Structure 1
Amino acid sequence: MAAASQQGALVLEGLSKRYGTFTALEPTSLTIEDGEFLTLLGPSGSGKTTLLQMISGLTDPSEGRLIFNGEDWTHRPVNARGMGLVFQHYALFPHMTVAENVAFPLEMRKLPSAEMKTRVEETLRKVQLDQFAHRFPKELSGGQQQRVALARCLVFRPKVILMDEPLGALDKALREHMQLEIRRLHKEYGTTIIYVTHDQEEALVMSDRICVMNHARVEQIGAPSQIYGNPETLFAATFIGHSNVLSGEKVSSDGDVATIRTPFGTFSGKHTARDRSATDVSLIIRPEQMRLGSAPGDAFDGVTGRLTDLIYVGAETRLLLTLGSDTSLTLRHDPSAGDLPSIGDEVAVHWPKTAARIVT
């Protein structure tokens, strides 16, 4: 972990939260770099919102320290942290215009009128709402209201912005548009953003790094490509993206490569598990790594299963195969790549050994 004196960094040192005998967050240490977009990703109850609230000052930690710019902010009041907060419910003032809503944090900071006017106009242009300055929140769409909330946060130029499920109330198309808008604004302003979501696609699209959380603790931290391509735990592998899972017993290992014996055969893969001494492990293969047909050589592994469904989703066709009574596989197939087998057929599939990962 980076030193607590690192300029611009937000450093968590063993931060935890307990409510009586209930642990909302296990001791967590993490460094968030200046200008980074970090996403806290996990299901409900994983501890991600608790962690965000302790960073904001809305919740006091049970133990640990929070260091910002070399200063101890562990017990610093929320109003003295100067962080921007954006939530799922926009909390706009209904009696104020868009411009007045955006100006509000500047008024609280008693900025001169001329500077306030300039900042509001500039920020509304950035979020493409300058033509809506004199409208009231009820006259805006959900996406426009969310952009007002973002503008109100950006206008006073905080060093850190905290976002808790800010797009949860939007429909899919609008949510995807806003993901790109927030990503663009982050690049433009260079502000540190800590973002909470349970949406894996949102995390992959927007983040510099993802902190995967489960059961009040951190499962894995890394860049989106690292989390997706080299998951360290079974939870990380299955929570981000779809994974085919073959569980079994590790029978040998050689450096980063291990061999696992399953009810459907013996397979090899890169051993990315944290606990390399574990024998009960799972082989993970992403659906896009699988191909139809028997393994063409020693560099590949494969199995045979019964085709139970074909799902056409435009850019791909998903093949669902069943192995035995309770194990299923999903394969992604290019619809233009030729004829497909029929439902009920026995189908062979294969994958490169280098694409498989072994996790605990």
Structure 2
Amino acid sequence: MNISTPSAATASPAAKIRIDGLSKTYGTFTALEPTTLDVQRGEFLTLLGPSGSGKTTLLQMVSGLTPATSGRLSIDGENWTDRPVHERGMGLVFQHYALFPHMTVEENVAFPLKMRNQPADQIRAAVAETLEKVQLDKFAHRFPRELSGGQQQRVALARCFVFRPEIILMDEPLGALDKALRETMQLEIRRLHREFGTTLIYVTHDQEEALVMSDRICVMNHAKVEQLGTPSQIYSDPETIFAATFIGHSNLLQGTLAGTDDQGNTLIRTAAGTFAGRMGARDADAGAHALIVRPERVSLGAATGPGMNELRATLRDVVYIGSDNRLLLDLPDGTEFTLRRDPGADIGAEIGQEITVHWPIEAGRVVS
């Protein structure tokens, strides 16, 4: 069974990595359903999902650390399914930096080049160039214990990039860092990827990290692909309820399909009323349905023209988060509905009062 989604990449001769029906089972437990997708040359693809979604299993099968139960892995058109990990020549970066404590920064970064028997003068030049790119040239003679967590991660990145692998695989490499340092390193990895033009597959459960860094995101859940697309596609046009709620915050109005309006928009009947929205890419008859609306697309007040949805709800709380205020509303059936408002803007209502909100029809996505 091929479970690639309708938005998954179609077969392309230019694909650097082709994953064709790869799966992994352990007895009766399925770690990854048969999965098919292409990774283009020089692309930054992020595998995003919660624990147990299959993302690390897929990465490890690409690396060769885990043998596939079925399917085929091709690199540049050649079958690599059974090729040993030491013959794949891929760069690997994990959450635990695995630096050699008895070696200096310079020696750690030089290690993969020495293992490949490169000439000493070429090693010195490559190490110096790479340490400069990760801004560690002044720390070349320090030992890992003398570095901060962020500096140690830079060493791990330098050790990976120094031998110019065509493919780099990263599994939660920033998981041990604090928020500020994670954000800095996200931009650093993105910059290095662009400079070196490497094909990179990155595993994370952090949605913001995926949106910031990726060319495309592969959202995974329950050992299969939920959606594959650009960050903008994943955020603005989710294809499933899971994709919509896992990436960013969404208002979720569950209901049943009620036909279409005069403009061809899909109508969905919910406990809060009947609303119009754009139908997602998935089968309209499949499973339960919901209207997804992002909080930043919702405005206070009644709709003033056509092409708008409108509802009334009770203002339960206003939460200040710096960049904006989050208005938390309660619908009659107990569903929470959220919108964002500029901190300096007047809300025009007190806690406990009923208010009216509206949003453009095109801002709502009907998914299943």
Which residues in structure 2 correspond to 1:16-165 (within 5 Å)? 16-165=23-172
Instruction: Write the letter of the residue equivalent to 2:236.
Output: G
**In the alignment, structure 1 residue 330 sits paired with structure 2 residue 338:** yes
Matched to 1:75, the amino acid is D
Cross-structure match for 2:214: 207
TM-score normalised over the length of structure 1:
0.97
Question: What runs of 5+ residues in structure 1 fail to find an aligned partner?
Answer: none
- CA separation in 1, counterparts of 2:71 and 2:291? 36
Counterpart of 1:14? 21
Alpha-carbon deviations, 1:224-261, whole Å to 9, x = none?
00000000000000000000000001010379621001
- Partner deviation per Cα, 1:64-122 (whole Å, 9 max, x = no partner): 00000111000000000000000000000011000000000001001000000000000
Residues 303 and 348 of structure 1 are in contact (CA less than 8 Å); yes or no, is this contact kept in structure 2?
A: yes
Tell me by how many angstroms 1:8 deviates.
Answer: 5.5
Asked if the contact 1:304/1:346 (under 8 Å) is kept, the reply is yes
| Residue identity in the other structure for 2:272 | F
CA distance in 2, matches of 1:313, 1:345: 22
Q: Which moved more, 1:275-284 or 1:13-22?
A: 275-284
Matches of 1:257 and 1:63, distance apart in 2? 42
May I ask how many residue pairs the two structures share in their alignment? Answer: 359
Distance 1:88 1:300 in 2: 46
| Offset from partner CA, 1:19-69 (integer Å, 9 cap, x none) | 001100000000000000000000000000000000000000000000001
Match for 2:309 among 275, 278, 301?
301
Secondary structure of 1:9's counterpart equals strand
TM-score (normalizing by structure 2) = 0.95
Alignment deviations for residues 284-318 of structure 1 (CA, whole Å, 9 cap, x no partner): 00000001111222211111111111111111000
Distance 1:220 1:256 in 2: 25
Q: Provide the C-alpha distance between the structure 2 equivalents of 1:260 and 1:313, rounded to a whole number of angstroms.
A: 32
For 2:345 and 2:255, locate their aligned partners in 1 and report how far apart those are by CA, in whole Å: 33
| Matching residue of 1:276 | 284
**1:353 alignment partner in structure 2:** 361
Question: Take 1:185 and 1:256, find their aligned partners in 2: how far apart are those partners?
Answer: 46
Q: Do the aligned partners of residues 105 and 214 (structure 1) sit closer, same or farther apart at CA in structure 2, a change above 3 Å counting? A: same
CA–CA separation in structure 1 for the residues paired with 2:291 and 2:305: 19
Q: Per the alignment, do residues 279 and 258 of structure 1 end up closer, same or farther by CA in structure 2, a change over 3 Å counting?
A: farther
Q: Does 1:170 align with 2:216?
A: no
SS at match of 2:337: strand
Deviations 1:159-193 (A, max 9, x none): 00000000000000000000000011111111011
Q: Structure 2: which amino acid aligns with 1:238?
A: T
In structure 1, the residue matched to 2:258 is 251
Query: In structure 1, how many angstroms separate the alpha carbons of the residues matched to 2:345 and 2:327?
Result: 13
Choose 305-314 or 270-279, whichever is displaced more. 270-279
| Contact persistence 2:277–2:364 (CA under 8 A) | yes
Partner of 2:4: none
For the residues of structure 2 that align with 1:138 and 1:326, how far apart are their CA atoms? 53
Q: Distance in 1 between matches of 2:253 and 2:80?
A: 46
1:180 pairs with 2:181: no
For residue 101 of structure 2, what is the amino acid of its counterpart? P
- Indicate conservation of the 8 Å contact 1:249/1:279, yes or no: no
Is residue 299 of structure 2 the alignment partner of residue 291 of structure 1? Answer: yes
% identical aligned pairs: 65
**Alpha-carbon distance in structure 2 between the residues aligned to 1:137 and 1:9:** 34
**Secondary structure of the residue that 1:107 maps to in structure 2?**
helix
* Mean Cα deviation higher: 48-57 or 324-333: 324-333
In structure 2, relative to structure 1, the CA distance for the partners of 1:114 and 1:279 (3 Å cut) is closer
**Secondary structure in 2 matching 1:221:** strand
- In the aligned structure 1, how far is the partner of 2:201 from the partner of 2:92? 10
**Following the alignment from structure 1 to structure 2, what is the Cα–Cα distance between the partners of residues 29 and 339?**
48
Where does structure 1 differ by over 3 angstroms across 4 or more consecutive aligned residues?
A: 1-4, 253-256
| Separation in 2, partners of 1:28, 1:164 | 19
Cα 1:149/1:307, change in 2 over 3 Å: same
- Give, as a single letter, the amino acid of the residue that structure 2 aligns with 1:32: V
> What is the letter of the counterpart of residue 266 of structure 2?
A
- Deviation, structure 1 residue 210: 0.1
Match of 1:263 in 2: 271
CA RMSD in angstroms, aligned pairs only: 1.3
User: How far apart are residue 325 of structure 1 and its match?
Assistant: 4.1
Q: Pick closer, same or farther for the CA change 1:347–1:149 going to 2, 3 Å.
A: same
CA contact (8 A) 1:273 1:358 kept: no
2:5 corresponding residue in structure 1: none
| Structure 2: segments with no counterpart, 5+ residues | 1-8
